Amino acid sequence: MSRLSESMKQELKQIQPSSILKFNQEISKVPDMVKLTLGEPDFNTPDHVKQAAIHSIENNESHYTNSRGIDGLRKAASKFLSDKYHVHYDPETQILITTGATEGIFSSLTAMLNPGDSVIIPTPIFPIYIPDTMLNGAKPIFLDTSDNGFILSPEKLQETIEANKDTVKAVVLNFPSNPTGVTYNRDEVQALADVLKQYDIFVLSDEIYSELTYGEHHVSMGELLPDQTILLNGVSKSHAMTGWRIGLVCGPADVITEIGKVHQFAITSATTNAQVAAEEAFKNGPDDGVAMRKIYQQRRDLLLAGLKDAGFECASPKGAFYLFAKIPANLNQDSAAFCYELAKEAKVAVIPGASFGPGGEGYVRISYAASTADLKKAVERIQKFVDQH
C-alpha cells in the first residue's frame, strides 16, 4: 500500500466500488450465462444518428466546443423537451450538455452541496446518488418506499423534510425508476411538487427513462416545479446511445451557470462528434424510441408472466426496462447469495436488490433489455431452479 493513500480524501474511505459492476464482471466469465444485469439497450444506435457522427468526423469537427455544448444540440434538446414534456428551457442559458447523465448528477450535486448538508434519497434507487452525495461531505437520508409499492408518498416526503429541514438541501427523484420500473402519474408528481414548493430545496429529477413509459405519458417535474427542479435527461436510453455519453442538465439559468463551473473544470466539454450525433437524434429522430418501447413492453409482459408462474411477485413496472422481483419466500432471502446461487446453478445473472439501498433486500433486479430468445431461456432456467429448491 502506498504511504500516501491514507492521506487521500476521507469520504472515499466510506465508499465501496459499485457492487453492480463487480457482480456483473464476476459472472461474465461464466460460459453460457444469460445476463440480465446491466441497464443498457440491446438495440443499435439509429443509422441516421451514426451517419451524423461520421460526417462530423469527416468534416474535421474535432475541436473543443462551447463548454455548455454546441448550439445546435442545445436548441434541438430544448425543442425535444418542450414538444414531449411541456418543459421550456432557454438553450442559451438553461441547458448544459454533460458527459452522460451520470456526469450531470455528479456536477449538479457537487455544485449544490456543502459539508453538513443532507439529501433525501427514496430507495430502492440506482446507487450513484449515494456516493456522489457522500463525496461532497453531505449525508444521504434514505426513505424506504417498499411498503408503498415503491412510490414516494407526499406525506412521507413532508414528514422527512420537516424532521431534517435545517440540513436538507435536495431531494432526488428518479422516474421511471431504476431498479423498480415504477413511475409517477400526473397527480402523483403534482402531489410531490405541492410539498416541495413549500421549501427552498432543490429537486434533482432524473428522468433519463422518460421515453420508455408504458401506458400513461411521462410527466416531468420540470413542468410542475420549474424554479426548483434540476432536470436530468439524455439520449442513452431513448436512442440506444449509452456509449456516446451525452446527457442534459436543465434548470434555472443562475443554477445552470454554477453547475456549469463544475462541469467546465472537470470535463471542459463533451465529445464533439457525439454531440453532433445527439443533435441529430433529438432533431430528426424524436420518436426513435417508440419502436424500441413497443418491443420492451412485449418483453416485459413475457418476463412478468414467466416470473409469476415461478412464484415471484413484481412491483408494477410502468417504465424503464427492469423488473424488481420479490424472491419467493422458500428461497434464500439474502439477495446477493441468491443471485450467486442462481448464476452458478441456473446460469442466469440478475442483480441483488440490496445493491439499491434500503427496501431492496429480498428482491432482485432483472433487466429485460435483452433478446426475446434470452428472456425465454432465462424464464425456463429460473423455473427449473425454483422447482429444484
Confidence of residue 1 (pLDDT cuts 50, 70, 90): low
Mean pLDDT of 109-120: 98
Q: Using CA atoms, how far apart are residues 167 and 9, in angstroms rounded to an integer?
A: 22
pLDDT at 72: 98
pLDDT at 175: 98
**Alpha-helix runs per DSSP H in the chain:** 19-27, 47-58, 71-85, 100-112, 129-135, 154-163, 186-196, 221-224, 253-267, 272-284, 288-309, 335-346, 372-388
Question: Which amino acid is residue 313, in one-letter code?
Answer: E
β-pairing verdict for 95-98 and 247-250:
antiparallel
**Chain mean pLDDT for the chain:** 96
**What residue spans in the chain does CATH classification 3.40.640.10 cover?**
47-284
**What residue spans in the chain does CATH classification 3.90.1150.10 cover?**
5-44+288-388
Give the tens place of pLDDT for each residue, 223-282: 999 999 999 999 999 999 999 999 999 999 999 999 999 999 999 999 999 999 999 999
Share of the chain above pLDDT 70, in %: 100
CATH architecture type of domain 47-284 = 3-Layer(aba) Sandwich (3.40)
Mean pLDDT of 51-62: 98
Q: Do residues 252 and 96 touch, judged by C-beta distance below 8 A?
A: no
pLDDT at 44: 97
CATH architecture type of domain 5-44+288-388 = Alpha-Beta Complex (3.90)
Mean pLDDT of 97-112: 98
HSE value, Cβ hemisphere, 13 Å, CA-based, for 373? 1
**Residue in the structure block whose three cell numbers are 424464464:** 379
pLDDT at 109: 98
pLDDT at 2 > cutoff 80: no
Q: Using CA atoms, how far apart are residues 314 and 307, in angstroms rounded to an integer?
A: 8
pLDDT at 39: 86
Share of the chain above pLDDT 90, in %: 90
pLDDT at 386 > cutoff 70: yes
pLDDT at 99: 98
pLDDT at 332 > cutoff 80: yes
